């Protein structure tokens, strides 16, 4: 039985650092030293023992800086910051929102000129403006679920809207924001693949997670009736999460993808579109002056999106509360047994996996295997992402990863962070029970 222990900095640095210059290669030094052969695993463990005193000293310094803020934010202790008592994210914008000013006067829209304009690529010059508040980048415009996730992760933060996921990553890298909060998976729609790819391309660390119950509404301009609609617009995830309900409502109209749910609501308000409805939050309805045509239209009452919190530095993993660790790996060797070996490394140590995802290996998507008799087989190559339920401060996790390094060509720890353990609160769903009944009668 492997006992839990404080991690050694050399070993943790090695896992967290990953490759510096080429994303798909292991880092020089400790990582490469540990992974390349079974024989080389020993020096790495020796280094780990040697550095234990440094690790404990570093922990002591961080503990004395954290000041016991009592914040509900999972990585607040590592920040040492007190959230300022300001409402989430509504700082004065650099310019009024021109699109909304064009909305027809009779719509009686709530003035939204004080909503922040989303950052775009052209805003990303590294010119940090340091205030006392934690600045948290999210993708979308005010009223997006990601904004609510940012507020849940960092209560009282200054939420910074970004027009793309990529911009949110860069905002943190360039010190325009301190954190990013980005969706990675939804209980109905599945993984948000773009963010898995970006996690690998960028060098940010996962420092926490939040799970947000997602309660969708069907929004339209005031006075619009459902029969007039010819189109429903929203984020593709939101469209997917409401597909059965929309059909059950008899709303078999065109569906169109939008960058984010609140952006779709804003588009309807700005364009005065009377034939279009958006799937978005009740908060988006308020912000953009739309009426709620139907409430709780997600296909399952327990619709939840999981977001990760990203920072420039990792947090110090602990063992006194439930932690999760996210890793990504690839392998060079022929054969499917690698995945089996990786899973065994966790099973053998009784570590539960909470998620496994594969994505194309962008640097080497196809491997050709020639057989003179039958031709050339084209194997697709993958990067594998795994979340497991243990902290990197737990020696079981350290040993599992040391073992995995021996048969993978690339391994990076994306983060080791506290699990979101907030009590379950399913979003009420006025439509889902009908859909459940109708879909089950359809299936049998
Ligand atoms: O469009 C939004 O409001 C978002 O915050 C994005 C997003 C997503 O990417 O999954 C977040 C939560 C919901 O699952 C739907 C959409």
ipTM metric: 0.96
pLDDT single digits (tens) 402-443:
999 998 999 999 999 999 998 876 655 555 444 444 433 333
In this structure, the answer to whether residues 110 and 179 fall within a common structural domain is yes
Q: Which pTM value belongs to this model?
A: 0.72
Of 296, 314, 332, the one marking the end of a domain is 314
3-state secondary structure at position 325: strand
Q: Do 306 and 322 belong together in one domain?
A: no
- Of the listed ranges 245-259, 352-366, 374-388, 420-434, the one predicted with least confidence: 420-434
DSSP β-ladder status, 135-139 and 158-162: parallel
Give Cβ neighbours of residue 441 (< 8 Å, ≥ 6 apart): none
Q: Measured in angstroms, how far is the CA atom of residue 192 from the centroid of ligand 1?
A: 9
pLDDT of residue 138: 98
Atom of ligand 1 nearest to the CA of 186: 14
Task: List the residue whose alpha carbon is closest to atom 1 of ligand 1.
Answer: 260
Question: Domain boundary residue among 260, 295, 314?
Answer: 314
Amino acid 16: pLDDT: 57
Q: In angstroms, what is the span from residue 211 Cα to ligand 1's centroid?
A: 12
Average pLDDT of span 272-294: 98
Q: How far apart are CA 44 and CA 34, in angstroms?
A: 6
Residue of 276, 305, 325, 408 with catalytic role: 305
Q: Are residues 166 and 222 in the same domain?
A: yes
User: How much is the pLDDT for 306?
Assistant: 98
Counting the structural domains of the chain, the total is: 2
Judge whether 235 lies within some domain: yes
Please give the pLDDT value at position 371: 76
Is 435 inside any structural domain?
no
Q: What is the pLDDT of residue 361?
A: 82
CATH number where 44 lies: 3.30.70.260
Q: Which domain holds residue 235?
A: 77-314
Q: Pocket of ligand 1, candidates 137, 150, 153, 183: which has the most ligand atoms within 8 Å of its Cβ, to mutate?
A: 183
Among 285, 314, 343, where does a domain finish? 314
User: Would the pLDDT of 107 be above 90?
Assistant: no
For the CA of 235, the nearest atom of ligand 1: 1
- The Cα 307–Cα 142 span in angstroms is 17
Average pLDDT, the chain: 76
What are the tokens at 327? 């890793």
The whole-number average pLDDT for the span 114-126 is: 68
Of residues 259 and 429, more confidence is placed in 259
Domain annotation covers residue 131: yes
Same domain, 254 and 347: no
Dist. CA 361–CA 364, nearest whole Å? 5
At residue 319, the pLDDT reads: 95
DSSP 400-441: HHHHHHTT-SEEEEEEEEE---PPP-PPP-TTHHHHHHHHHH
Is it the case that residue 332 has pLDDT exceeding 50?
yes
Residues 135 and 58 in one domain: no
Residue predicted with more confidence, 233 or 119? 233
| Closest residue by Cα to residue 24 from 307, 398, 381 | 381
Q: Comparing 378 with 223, which gets the higher pLDDT?
A: 223
Higher pLDDT, 431 or 238: 238
Task: State percent of the chain over pLDDT 90.
Answer: 57
Which is nearest to 435 in space by CA: 303, 244, 232, 302?
A: 244
CATH number of residue 260's parent domain: 3.40.190.10
- Cα separation, 359 vs 368, in Å, equals 18
How far apart, in whole angstroms, are the C-alpha atoms of residue 137 and residue 146?
A: 9
Same domain? For 226 and 349 the reply is no
Ligand 1 midpoint to CA 338 (Å)? 34
In this structure, the residue with its CA closest to atom 12 of ligand 1 is 145
Catalytic residue among 307, 323, 329, 384: 307
Q: Does residue 182 form part of some domain?
A: yes
Distance 218 CA to ligand 1 centre (A): 15
pLDDT at position 191:
96
Same domain, 219 and 267: yes
Is residue 426 one of the residues assigned to a domain? no
CA distances from 344 to 1, 392, 406 (A): 16, 18, 13
Assess whether 70 and 179 both reside in one domain: no
The model's pLDDT over 54-80, given as tens digits with 9 standing for 90+, comes to 333 332 332 323 223 333 344 433 333
Residue 163 pLDDT exceeds 60? yes
Domain membership flag for residue 425: no
- Answer yes or no: do 227 and 87 share one domain: yes
Digit-coded pLDDT (tens) for 427-437? 555 554 444 44
Burial of 399 (0-12, 13-18, 19+ CB in 10 A): middle
Structure tokens belonging to residue 91: 């700082």
Query: Would 429 be classed as within a structural domain?
Result: no
Enumerate helices (H) and strands (E) in the chain, giving the number of each. Answer: 16, 17
Q: How far is the C-alpha of 60 from the C-alpha of 127, rounded, in Å? A: 33
State whether 248 and 358 are in the same domain: no
219 in a structural domain: yes
C-alpha dist (Å) from residue 215 to 62, 288, 427: 39, 17, 6
- Say whether both 126 and 230 belong to one domain: yes
Ligand 1 binding pocket, CB closer than 6 Å: 140, 144-146, 183, 186, 192, 214, 235, 237-238, 260-262, 305
- Beta pairing, strands 353-360 & 323-330: unpaired
Top pLDDT among 303 and 22 is at 303
The reply to whether 261 belongs to the active site is no
Ligand 1 atom with least separation from CA of 264: 1
Q: SS3 for 148?
A: helix
Strand spans (E) along 80-178: 135-139, 158-162
Please identify, by atom number, the ligand 1 atom nearest to the C-alpha of residue 234. 1
- Mutational test site, ligand 1, from 146, 153, 217, max ligand atoms within 8 Å of CB: 146
Average pLDDT, integer, range 103-125: 58
Known catalytic residue at 388? no
Give tens-digit pLDDT for 17-58: 443 222 222 233 332 222 222 222 233 333 333 333 333 333
Measured from the CA of 148, which atom of ligand 1 is nearest?
A: 5
Judgement on whether residues 56 and 160 belong to the same structural domain of the protein: no
């Amino acid at each position: 039985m492997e006992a839990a222990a404080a991690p050694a900095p050399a070993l943790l640095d090695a896992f967290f650092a990953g490759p510096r210059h080429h994303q798909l290669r292991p880092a020089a030094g400790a990582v490469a030293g540990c992974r390349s052969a079974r024989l080389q695993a020993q020096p790495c463990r020796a280094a780990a023992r040697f550095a234990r005193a440094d690790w404990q000293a570093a922990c002591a310094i961080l503990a004395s800086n954290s000041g016991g803020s009592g914040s509900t934010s999972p990585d607040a202790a590592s920040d040492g910051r007190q959230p300022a008592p300001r409402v989430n994210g509504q700082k004065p914008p650099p310019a009024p929102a021109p699109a909304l000013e064009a909305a027809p006067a009779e719509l009686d829209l709530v003035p939204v000129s004080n909503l922040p304009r989303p950052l775009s690529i052209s805003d990303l010059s590294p010119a940090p403006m340091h205030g006392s508040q934690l600045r948290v980048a999210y993708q979308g415009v005010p009223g997006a679920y990601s904004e609510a996730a940012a507020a849940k992760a960092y209560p009282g933060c200054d939420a910074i809207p970004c027009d793309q996921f990529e911009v949110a990553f860069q905002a943190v890298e360039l010190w325009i924001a301190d954190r990013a909060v980005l969706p990675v998976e939804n209980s109905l729609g599945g993984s948000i693949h773009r963010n898995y790819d970006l996690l690998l391309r960028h060098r940010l660390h996962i420092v926490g997670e939040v799970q947000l119950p997602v309660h969708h509404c069907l929004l339209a301009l005031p006075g619009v009736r459902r029969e007039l609609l010819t189109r429903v617009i929203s984020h593709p995830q939101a469209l997917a999460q409401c597909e059965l309900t929309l059909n059950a409502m008899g709303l078999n109209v065109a569906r169109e993808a939008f960058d984010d749910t609140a952006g779709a609501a804003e588009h309807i308000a700005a364009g005065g579109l009377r034939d279009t409805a958006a799937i978005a939050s009740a908060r988006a309805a308020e912000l953009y002056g739309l009426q709620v045509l139907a409430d709780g239209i997600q296909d399952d009452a327990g619709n939840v999106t999981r977001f990760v919190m990203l920072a420039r530095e990792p947090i110090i993993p602990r063992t006194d509360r439930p932690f999760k660790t996210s890793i990504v790996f690839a392998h060079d060797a022929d054969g499917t047994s690698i995945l089996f070996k990786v899973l065994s490394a966790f099973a053998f140590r009784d570590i539960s996996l909470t998620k496994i995802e594969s994505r194309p290996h962008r640097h080497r998507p196809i491997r050709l295997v020639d057989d003179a008799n039958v031709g050339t087989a084209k194997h697709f190559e993958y990067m594998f992402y795994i979340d497991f339920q243990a902290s990197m401060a737990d020696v079981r996790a350290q040993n599992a990863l040391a073992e995995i390094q021996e048969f993978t060509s690339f391994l990076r720890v994306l983060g080791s962070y506290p699990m979101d353990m907030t009590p379950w609160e399913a979003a009420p769903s006025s439509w889902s029970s009908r859909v459940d009944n109708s879909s089950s009668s359809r299936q049998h």
